[in-house]
Structure 1
């Protein structure tokens, strides 16, 4: 089973297109050894939004001569895609048929007392003395996937402590991640902030009939 940590830099939040992609191939669960890495910039078909420029510091003119953003493809053998808020990066590259493992969801489950669960915040939580150096190039895709691997090491340690044994394989980690992604509190609508278990039955039925309902919200309602 092949797992890759993936990160992208994009044109922005409005119909984002890829401008930089990076991945690390992880060859095993114990120790998360790296089997290979990839970094490439791409030319989008639209200008980079100001907010994205301020985040990635990648300019439109830096991409002249780069491959078209449509030329990116994941390795054919990839089965598990790992990332912090992985669905965003997965969506940018066309939502390929792979299983996604979200380190943000796992972080929220494992360290609920933290006031924020961004990747940078989690690096400060677990690598405080090294964090400034590790985050010097935050939002550069290759640095971000390397930091995601460091966070994943801490996640694996915490999960092993909870389970009383090491996580068996990528499939088990994916299953734990899927469960962590199911919210317990509704984050929208007139009942925002309420526990899903406390929602009125008529409102629950109405939500379940919405065709564009987030699949993890649907799972929370069906529990």
Structure 2
């Protein structure tokens, strides 16, 4: 089974890939010989906010190929794996494999963690990461290598099947804490113990965020000793 861990860096949050990279995980082993990356001409200016994150400038990509010219090199895997896969899937041309989201898997597997960003998980889980020299966080290949190590840990610790990982990917994210209201910052478990009626009330509110609704139902149903 070939899982292709993939990452993109972009002009902004709406469109325009400026860099794409991948590395493969064959069943349970990371294949470091498979890593690849390309600068991409986005045919639009890179926003200052984006440059401040990934440090890729317009001059660095102006002579690079278009995404259509390189995307075939990233096809051919059984699954594509990305951290916050909804973003990368939205940015990329249509691919020929389903996406697995390590962000959603990590939120489900380790709900107690303060953050589920790639770099936080790298250090919180003490991942065995061998990042490329000369790169830094928020460069596509660097992030791919971190995500590959994270995905390997998720597979090892969870025992989830591919079908189960796809199901979690296609569900709303599981949150551990409320991010608003009078119980902001408290875990759903704490609120459940202190005032379960508040969570029930929230479920009845119109336009409730899908992640919050999913999380309330999950933690209300979960049994504790």
State if a TM-score over 0.5 links the two structures: yes
CA distance in 2, matches of 1:88, 1:155: 20
Aligned to 1:175: 167
What is the correspondence of 1:103-182 to structure 2 with a 5 Å cutoff?
A: 103-127=102-126, 137-160=136-159, 167=160, 169-179=161-171, 181=173
Gaps of 5+ in 1: 161-166
Shift of 1:90: 1.0
| 35 and 197 in structure 1: CA distance in 2 versus 1, 3 angstrom threshold | farther
Deviations 1:12-44 (A, max 9, x none): 22x22000000112221x334457222111111
Report the counterpart of residue 18 of structure 1 in structure 2.
Answer: 17
* Deviation of the 1:188 alpha carbon: 8.0
Partner of 2:100, secondary structure, is strand
Over the residues paired in the alignment, what is the CA RMSD in angstroms?
3.8
Q: Which of 40, 43, 53 is residue 42 of structure 1 equivalent to?
A: 40
TM-score (norm 1): 0.72
User: Given the superposition, is the C-alpha separation of residues 172 and 32 from structure 1 closer, same or farther in structure 2, using an over 3 Å criterion?
Assistant: farther
Aligned residues: 207
CA distance in 2 between counterparts of 1:5 and 1:129 reads 16
CA separation of 1:104/1:34 partners in 2, compared to 1, >3 Å: closer, same or farther? same
Q: Which of the numbers 36, 58, 61 marks the counterpart of 1:60?
A: 58
Deviation (angstroms), 1:58 = 0.9
Q: Report the CA distance between 1:193 and its aligned residue.
A: 8.7
TM-score (norm 2): 0.71
Decide whether aligned partners of structure 1 residues 20 and 154 sit closer, same or farther in structure 2, where only a CA change above 3 A counts.
Answer: same
Change (3 A) 1:188 1:3: farther
- Give me the whole-angstrom Cα distance separating, in 2, the residues matched to 1:40 and 1:221: 41
Aligned partner of 2:82 in structure 1 is 83
Task: Choose 36-45 or 76-85, whichever is displaced more.
Answer: 76-85
Instruction: List aligned pairs for 1:179-190, cutoff 5 A.
Output: 179=171, 181=173
Distance in 1 between the 2:63 and 2:131 partners? Answer: 33
Which has the larger displacement, 103-112 or 92-101?
A: 92-101
Change (3 A) 1:130 1:174: closer
- Long gaps (5+) in structure 2: 189-197, 219-225
- CA drift at 1:179: 4.8
- In structure 1, distance between residues paired with 2:99 and 2:129: 28
Cα pair 1:124 1:131 within 8 Å, conserved: no
Q: Once structures 1 and 2 are overlaid, which stretch shifts more, 35-44 or 192-201?
A: 192-201
